[in-house]
Amino acid sequence: MKPPKNKFAYLVCMLFVSSDHYAQGFYKDIFMDGGVNLTHRTTLPASETLNLSMEYLATAEEPIQTKVMIGDANDLNGALLYPDGGPRFRLLYTNGGKSTAHGNSLGNEGRERVRQFFAAGETTSEPAPAPSLPTSAPMQPAFMRRITTCGREGQS
């Protein structure tokens, strides 16, 4: 068998085939990081082809990146993790660019959030349960309202 030409498409395809596409407990399938010092793309053809749900961060502004990736007073654990530490997404895709500069822009706390995301994914046999919102809460969690300031798939 010949190796695939598009390795990311192959990876996403394997993600799709190897587990339930609509896995319980995950907010969406992919979080695409296009933060500081990375390419700020807003689409991922492989995810569209496979009909995978996706959120993305596409910003050159460090304060926005910090709020999304690390968190703030309203969401202490950032976009990648549920409050219990479980991963909100099935896959983290980081765009190309200057990875060292991007890692530095995240700081120690941001890099630790990414480590926690990967550690939670490999040690969890069951996905983290989706958080239940109080009936008086808005339909979107606070972290998603922040992401809309830098881009959200499916909205104009």
At 108-148, the pLDDT tens digits run 999 999 999 999 886 544 544 554 544 444 444 444 444 43
Between the CA of residue 17 and those of 23, 26, 50, 54, 79, what are the distances in Å? Answer: 12, 16, 10, 17, 25
128: its two tokens: 């983290």
Compute the average pLDDT of residues 19-40.
Answer: 82
Q: Which pTM was predicted?
A: 0.65
**CA-to-CA distance for 62 and 89, rounded, in angstroms?**
22
CB 89 within 8 A of CB 30: yes
**Per-residue pLDDT at 93 exceeds 70:** yes
**CA-to-CA distance for 122 and 114, rounded, in angstroms?**
13
**pLDDT value, residue 25:** 82
CB 118 within 8 A of CB 85: no
Compute the average pLDDT of residues 61-80.
Answer: 92
**Per-residue pLDDT at 9 exceeds 80:** no
At 32-62, the pLDDT tens digits run 999 999 999 999 998 999 999 999 999 999 9
